[in-house]
Structure 1
Amino acid sequence: MSNGDGVTAALSDAVETAKEKVAEVSGAVASTASATVAKAKQAAKSAEKKVKTEVAKAKKAVKKTVAVAKKKLATASKDAKKEVASLKKKVAAKKAATKKAIAKKPAAKKVAKKAAKPAAKKAPAKKAVAKKAVAKKAVVKKAPAKKAPAKKAVKKAAPARKAVAKKAPAKKAVKKAAKKASKK
């Protein structure tokens, strides 16, 4: 039976060595796993720090741009207010000038009326000149129609007297034609 005790002893030695190996391997795996976990934690912490610093930088940049924009808007607002004030002054000055002009208008109207009277007298004279020019054109058109009755009248009576008498009606006809042409 001593032989059986040797087998048992060998088996128990083998189990012991296997147990030790498993403990060593499991210790190594655990230490490696804990090392990787530690490394992962460190990486996460460093990433978190980087993100925090980037966010802080972004916040500072936004604050700066907002501050610059506020300053620009404030200066633009001041400039606009100054411009509005100057425009109001100009408008007030123009209103005052128009009030003065309105106050002076009654006197100016009298002067204008006096000046308009001679101009009114001159204006009809110019119109008459224009009518004469138009009348000449009308005379050219109506002259052949008037000549035929004039010849008949010449046969009936003395030629010199009838010719003189017909000149006056011709002028009247010219004036009438000119009036009709100006109305059109």
Structure 2
Amino acid sequence: MTARKTPPARGRKWSAEVTRHSDALDLEPGVFASDDPRRIAESLKRSAEASTRRKSTPFRSAMSMLVFYTNRAGRHLSQGRRQTLDRARVELRRLFGRPDGPDRRR
């Protein structure tokens, strides 16, 4: 049995690199810094519709980037920041004319 090799050390901000150079879409600078869920959603929508490198529909690319950002921030997000990003998800669905997601139906 051979020893398990550890992967080479990476910089601490690999997710920032993914955000900047993703094939999903090109983000506007500071998109996730906003406190306005509508502004975040509109920016993601613009970026997704303008991107020529995305591999899926604009909606899926935009939602994917928002979920990626939320997941990478994980437990380091404050409750207020997480609520803003959750509201941005709802707003993004509305902007694309999508019905509420399965977790939103009641």
Does the pair score TM above 0.5?
no
Larger helix fraction of residues: 1
TM (norm. structure 1) is 0.16
TM (norm. structure 2) is 0.24
Greater length-normalized contact order (CA 8 Å, ≥ 6 residues apart): 2
Structure number with greater Rg is 1
